[in-house]
Structure 1
Amino acid sequence: MLEKFVKNLVPSLQRGDPFFVPAFLYTYRKFSTTRQVLDLFFKRYGFFHDACEEDEQIKNLICYFLGMWLDKYPEDFWKSKDLAILNQLMAYLLVNMPFSELTVHVNCLLTQLEDLESTDT
Protein backbone atom coordinates (compact mmCIF):
# COMPACT_ATOMS: atom_id res chain seq x y z
CA MET A 1 0.00 0.00 0.00
CA LEU A 2 2.76 2.48 0.93
CA GLU A 3 4.63 1.78 -2.32
CA LYS A 4 1.51 2.61 -4.31
CA PHE A 5 1.09 5.93 -2.50
CA VAL A 6 4.76 6.87 -2.91
CA LYS A 7 4.64 5.86 -6.57
CA ASN A 8 1.77 8.31 -7.13
CA LEU A 9 3.23 11.37 -5.37
CA VAL A 10 5.06 12.92 -8.33
CA PRO A 11 2.48 11.85 -10.95
CA SER A 12 -0.26 13.49 -8.88
CA LEU A 13 1.72 16.74 -9.01
CA GLN A 14 2.22 16.31 -12.76
CA ARG A 15 -1.55 16.00 -13.17
CA GLY A 16 -2.11 19.08 -11.03
CA ASP A 17 -4.05 17.15 -8.38
CA PRO A 18 -4.29 19.57 -5.42
CA PHE A 19 -5.45 16.93 -2.92
CA PHE A 20 -3.27 13.81 -3.14
CA VAL A 21 0.00 15.14 -1.69
CA PRO A 22 -1.53 17.12 1.20
CA ALA A 23 -3.75 14.16 2.10
CA PHE A 24 -0.78 11.80 1.98
CA LEU A 25 1.37 14.07 4.15
CA TYR A 26 -1.45 14.44 6.66
CA THR A 27 -2.15 10.71 6.99
CA TYR A 28 0.96 8.64 6.18
CA ARG A 29 2.06 8.47 9.84
CA LYS A 30 -0.89 6.20 10.59
CA PHE A 31 0.64 3.39 8.53
CA SER A 32 4.31 4.26 8.01
CA THR A 33 7.33 6.25 9.17
CA THR A 34 9.15 9.17 7.60
CA ARG A 35 12.18 6.97 6.99
CA GLN A 36 10.10 4.31 5.19
CA VAL A 37 8.54 6.93 2.93
CA LEU A 38 11.88 8.55 2.14
CA ASP A 39 13.56 5.20 1.50
CA LEU A 40 10.89 4.27 -1.05
CA PHE A 41 10.84 7.75 -2.55
CA PHE A 42 14.62 7.93 -2.93
CA LYS A 43 14.71 4.42 -4.37
CA ARG A 44 12.07 5.37 -6.94
CA TYR A 45 13.76 8.66 -7.83
CA GLY A 46 17.38 7.73 -7.28
CA PHE A 47 18.72 8.15 -10.81
CA PHE A 48 18.39 10.94 -13.34
CA HIS A 49 19.83 11.45 -16.82
CA ASP A 50 21.98 14.50 -17.45
CA ALA A 51 20.44 17.18 -19.67
CA CYS A 52 17.09 15.39 -19.83
CA GLU A 53 14.17 17.83 -19.87
CA GLU A 54 11.72 15.29 -18.42
CA ASP A 55 14.09 14.47 -15.55
CA GLU A 56 14.54 18.19 -14.84
CA GLN A 57 10.76 18.56 -14.57
CA ILE A 58 10.59 15.58 -12.23
CA LYS A 59 13.39 17.05 -10.08
CA ASN A 60 11.44 20.31 -9.83
CA LEU A 61 8.36 18.40 -8.69
CA ILE A 62 10.45 16.43 -6.19
CA CYS A 63 11.82 19.70 -4.77
CA TYR A 64 8.29 21.06 -4.57
CA PHE A 65 7.03 17.94 -2.77
CA LEU A 66 9.95 17.70 -0.34
CA GLY A 67 9.84 21.44 0.32
CA MET A 68 6.12 21.31 1.05
CA TRP A 69 6.66 18.36 3.40
CA LEU A 70 9.49 20.11 5.20
CA ASP A 71 7.49 23.33 5.55
CA LYS A 72 4.24 21.74 6.73
CA TYR A 73 5.64 18.94 8.91
CA PRO A 74 9.21 19.91 9.89
CA GLU A 75 9.11 17.67 12.94
CA ASP A 76 9.05 14.64 10.62
CA PHE A 77 12.65 15.44 9.69
CA TRP A 78 14.29 16.36 12.98
CA LYS A 79 12.53 14.21 15.55
CA SER A 80 15.49 11.82 15.63
CA LYS A 81 18.18 13.00 18.02
CA ASP A 82 21.01 12.47 15.55
CA LEU A 83 19.17 14.26 12.71
CA ALA A 84 19.55 11.08 10.63
CA ILE A 85 16.45 11.72 8.53
CA LEU A 86 17.44 15.30 7.74
CA ASN A 87 20.96 14.11 6.92
CA GLN A 88 19.50 11.43 4.64
CA LEU A 89 17.49 14.11 2.84
CA MET A 90 20.58 16.30 2.51
CA ALA A 91 22.64 13.45 1.06
CA TYR A 92 19.94 12.76 -1.55
CA LEU A 93 19.72 16.43 -2.48
CA LEU A 94 23.50 16.84 -2.78
CA VAL A 95 23.68 13.94 -5.23
CA ASN A 96 20.60 14.73 -7.30
CA MET A 97 19.91 18.47 -6.93
CA PRO A 98 23.02 20.10 -5.48
CA PHE A 99 22.16 23.63 -6.61
CA SER A 100 18.48 23.69 -5.72
CA GLU A 101 16.98 26.17 -3.27
CA LEU A 102 15.80 23.20 -1.23
CA THR A 103 19.38 21.97 -0.83
CA VAL A 104 20.41 25.39 0.47
CA HIS A 105 17.41 25.46 2.83
CA VAL A 106 18.10 21.98 4.22
CA ASN A 107 21.79 22.79 4.65
CA CYS A 108 20.94 25.95 6.64
CA LEU A 109 18.44 24.02 8.74
CA LEU A 110 20.97 21.29 9.48
CA THR A 111 23.59 23.86 10.46
CA GLN A 112 21.15 25.59 12.82
CA LEU A 113 20.04 22.34 14.44
CA GLU A 114 23.61 21.08 14.81
CA ASP A 115 24.57 24.40 16.42
CA LEU A 116 21.64 24.04 18.83
CA GLU A 117 22.73 20.50 19.68
CA SER A 118 26.29 21.60 20.36
CA THR A 119 25.15 24.40 22.69
CA ASP A 120 22.88 21.97 24.55
CA THR A 121 25.77 19.61 25.33
Structure 2
Amino acid sequence: MHCPCPGSDHLQWESVKERVIKAGTVEKLVECLVGSDGTMDSRHFNVFFATYRAFTDPTSVLDRLLRRYESLEKEVHSSTSALVIQNSIRSILICWLDMYPEDFYDPECDFAMLTNLLEFGQRSKLSDLRAKSRKLLERFKHIQEEGGMTGYYHFFFVF
Protein backbone atom coordinates (compact mmCIF):
# COMPACT_ATOMS: atom_id res chain seq x y z
CA MET A 1 0.00 0.00 0.00
CA HIS A 2 2.05 2.90 -1.20
CA CYS A 3 0.59 6.38 -1.43
CA PRO A 4 2.45 8.49 -4.00
CA CYS A 5 0.93 11.70 -2.58
CA PRO A 6 3.45 14.44 -1.75
CA GLY A 7 3.92 14.85 1.99
CA SER A 8 2.60 11.35 2.66
CA ASP A 9 3.95 9.72 5.80
CA HIS A 10 4.36 6.40 3.97
CA LEU A 11 2.71 4.37 6.71
CA GLN A 12 1.54 0.91 5.85
CA TRP A 13 -1.09 -0.90 7.88
CA GLU A 14 -1.71 -4.57 8.18
CA SER A 15 -4.64 -6.20 9.94
CA VAL A 16 -3.60 -9.01 12.21
CA LYS A 17 -5.98 -11.54 13.68
CA GLU A 18 -5.45 -11.95 17.36
CA ARG A 19 -6.27 -15.09 19.28
CA VAL A 20 -8.41 -14.40 22.33
CA ILE A 21 -9.07 -17.07 24.94
CA LYS A 22 -12.47 -16.75 26.58
CA ALA A 23 -12.78 -20.09 28.37
CA GLY A 24 -11.35 -23.58 28.46
CA THR A 25 -10.51 -26.57 30.57
CA VAL A 26 -7.55 -26.22 32.91
CA GLU A 27 -5.62 -28.59 30.64
CA LYS A 28 -6.23 -26.41 27.56
CA LEU A 29 -5.56 -23.14 29.41
CA VAL A 30 -2.20 -24.48 30.58
CA GLU A 31 -1.49 -25.77 27.08
CA CYS A 32 -2.18 -22.28 25.67
CA LEU A 33 0.58 -20.78 27.81
CA VAL A 34 2.72 -21.84 24.86
CA GLY A 35 1.54 -19.98 21.76
CA SER A 36 0.82 -21.51 18.37
CA ASP A 37 4.39 -20.68 17.32
CA GLY A 38 5.77 -22.73 20.21
CA THR A 39 6.93 -19.74 22.24
CA MET A 40 5.67 -18.49 25.58
CA ASP A 41 2.57 -16.32 25.16
CA SER A 42 3.41 -13.54 27.63
CA ARG A 43 -0.03 -11.95 27.52
CA HIS A 44 -1.77 -15.24 28.32
CA PHE A 45 0.89 -15.95 30.96
CA ASN A 46 0.08 -12.71 32.79
CA VAL A 47 -3.69 -13.21 32.68
CA PHE A 48 -3.53 -16.90 33.55
CA PHE A 49 -1.18 -16.58 36.53
CA ALA A 50 -3.09 -13.60 37.89
CA THR A 51 -6.39 -15.52 37.85
CA TYR A 52 -5.90 -19.31 37.87
CA ARG A 53 -6.28 -19.66 41.66
CA ALA A 54 -10.01 -19.03 41.20
CA PHE A 55 -10.48 -22.33 39.34
CA THR A 56 -7.51 -24.58 40.16
CA ASP A 57 -4.46 -24.84 42.41
CA PRO A 58 -0.70 -24.39 41.90
CA THR A 59 0.08 -28.11 42.23
CA SER A 60 -2.31 -28.97 39.42
CA VAL A 61 -0.79 -26.34 37.10
CA LEU A 62 2.75 -27.47 37.93
CA ASP A 63 1.88 -31.13 37.30
CA ARG A 64 0.40 -30.28 33.90
CA LEU A 65 3.42 -28.22 32.85
CA LEU A 66 5.90 -30.89 33.93
CA ARG A 67 3.89 -33.67 32.23
CA ARG A 68 3.77 -31.70 28.99
CA TYR A 69 7.52 -31.06 29.10
CA GLU A 70 8.27 -34.72 29.75
CA SER A 71 5.83 -35.91 27.07
CA LEU A 72 7.94 -34.06 24.49
CA GLU A 73 11.18 -35.70 25.62
CA LYS A 74 10.97 -38.48 23.01
CA GLU A 75 10.44 -35.97 20.17
CA VAL A 76 13.23 -33.52 21.07
CA HIS A 77 15.91 -35.33 19.08
CA SER A 78 13.84 -35.43 15.90
CA SER A 79 11.76 -32.26 16.16
CA THR A 80 12.91 -28.69 16.66
CA SER A 81 9.34 -27.63 17.49
CA ALA A 82 9.34 -30.00 20.49
CA LEU A 83 12.57 -28.40 21.71
CA VAL A 84 11.10 -24.90 21.24
CA ILE A 85 8.03 -25.90 23.28
CA GLN A 86 10.20 -27.41 26.01
CA ASN A 87 12.24 -24.21 26.20
CA SER A 88 9.01 -22.23 26.45
CA ILE A 89 7.77 -24.43 29.30
CA ARG A 90 11.12 -23.90 31.04
CA SER A 91 10.66 -20.12 30.62
CA ILE A 92 7.11 -20.33 31.99
CA LEU A 93 8.35 -22.18 35.08
CA ILE A 94 11.15 -19.67 35.68
CA CYS A 95 8.84 -16.68 35.21
CA TRP A 96 6.30 -18.28 37.55
CA LEU A 97 8.99 -18.71 40.23
CA ASP A 98 10.08 -15.09 39.75
CA MET A 99 6.67 -13.44 39.60
CA TYR A 100 4.56 -15.58 41.94
CA PRO A 101 6.94 -17.20 44.46
CA GLU A 102 4.14 -17.32 47.05
CA ASP A 103 2.47 -20.05 44.97
CA PHE A 104 5.31 -22.35 46.02
CA TYR A 105 5.09 -21.60 49.75
CA ASP A 106 3.52 -24.77 51.16
CA PRO A 107 5.28 -25.64 54.44
CA GLU A 108 2.46 -27.98 55.48
CA CYS A 109 3.43 -30.16 52.50
CA ASP A 110 7.15 -29.75 53.25
CA PHE A 111 7.51 -27.55 50.14
CA ALA A 112 6.58 -30.45 47.86
CA MET A 113 6.19 -28.28 44.76
CA LEU A 114 9.71 -26.89 45.02
CA THR A 115 11.09 -30.35 45.78
CA ASN A 116 9.25 -31.62 42.70
CA LEU A 117 10.76 -28.81 40.61
CA LEU A 118 14.25 -29.58 41.94
CA GLU A 119 13.89 -33.25 41.00
CA PHE A 120 12.45 -32.33 37.61
CA GLY A 121 15.33 -29.91 36.98
CA GLN A 122 17.79 -32.65 37.91
CA ARG A 123 16.16 -35.24 35.59
CA SER A 124 15.84 -32.76 32.73
CA LYS A 125 19.29 -31.20 33.23
CA LEU A 126 17.85 -27.70 33.67
CA SER A 127 20.45 -26.12 35.93
CA ASP A 128 18.87 -22.64 35.88
CA LEU A 129 15.51 -24.01 37.03
CA ARG A 130 17.22 -26.14 39.68
CA ALA A 131 19.22 -23.18 41.00
CA LYS A 132 16.18 -20.90 41.18
CA SER A 133 14.09 -23.60 42.88
CA ARG A 134 16.85 -24.39 45.37
CA LYS A 135 17.31 -20.71 46.25
CA LEU A 136 13.58 -20.22 46.83
CA LEU A 137 13.37 -23.44 48.85
CA GLU A 138 16.23 -22.30 51.09
CA ARG A 139 14.59 -18.90 51.56
CA PHE A 140 11.22 -20.48 52.41
CA LYS A 141 12.81 -22.90 54.89
CA HIS A 142 14.52 -19.96 56.58
CA ILE A 143 11.20 -18.09 56.75
CA GLN A 144 9.57 -21.19 58.24
CA GLU A 145 12.31 -21.51 60.86
CA GLU A 146 11.75 -17.87 61.80
CA GLY A 147 8.06 -18.47 62.47
CA GLY A 148 6.40 -18.42 59.07
CA MET A 149 5.15 -15.81 56.66
CA THR A 150 3.60 -13.36 59.11
CA GLY A 151 6.68 -11.19 59.37
CA TYR A 152 7.89 -11.73 55.83
CA TYR A 153 5.34 -10.07 53.57
CA HIS A 154 7.98 -7.55 52.50
CA PHE A 155 9.70 -10.49 50.78
CA PHE A 156 6.89 -10.67 48.23
CA PHE A 157 6.00 -7.02 47.91
CA VAL A 158 9.22 -5.17 47.20
CA PHE A 159 8.45 -1.86 45.52
Is TM more than 0.5 here?
yes
Q: Any residues of structure 2 matched to 1:1-121 within 5 Å, and which?
A: 1-11=25-35, 14=38, 17-47=41-71, 48-49=73-74, 51-52=77-78, 53-81=80-108, 82-96=110-124, 98-118=125-145
Q: Does the 8 Å CA contact 2:90/2:129 hold for their aligned counterparts? A: yes
2:68 and 2:86 map into 1 onto residues whose CA distance is 12
CA change 1:17–1:90 in 2 (3 A) is: same
Larger Rg: 2
Deviation string, structure 1 residues 27-77 (Cα, Å, up to 9, x no partner): 100000001111222222223136454333223211211111111111001
Aligned partner letter, 2:116: Q
What's the secondary structure of 1:9's corresponding residue?
coil
Structure 1 vs Structure 2 CA RMSD: 2.4
User: Residues of 2 paired with 1:31 and 1:66: CA distance?
Assistant: 19
3-state SS of 1:10 partner: coil
Give % identity. Answer: 31
Which structure's relative contact order is higher, taking Cα pairs within 8 Å and 6+ residues apart?
Answer: 1
CA contact (8 A) 1:12 1:21 kept: no
Deviation at 1:88, TM superposition (A): 1.5
Deviates more, 1:20-29 or 1:84-93: 84-93
Deviations 1:74-116 (A, max 9, x none): 10011343111111222222212x2431221112222333344
Structure 2 residue ranges without an equivalent (≥5): 1-24, 148-159
Whether contact under 8 Å (2:94, 2:129) holds in the other structure is yes
Deviates more, 1:36-45 or 1:9-18: 9-18
Give structure 1 stretches of 5+ with no counterpart: none
**Could you tell me the TM-score, scaled by structure 2's length?**
0.63
TM-score, normalised via structure 1 length:
0.79
The whole-number CA distance in structure 2 between the counterparts of 1:111 and 1:15 is: 30
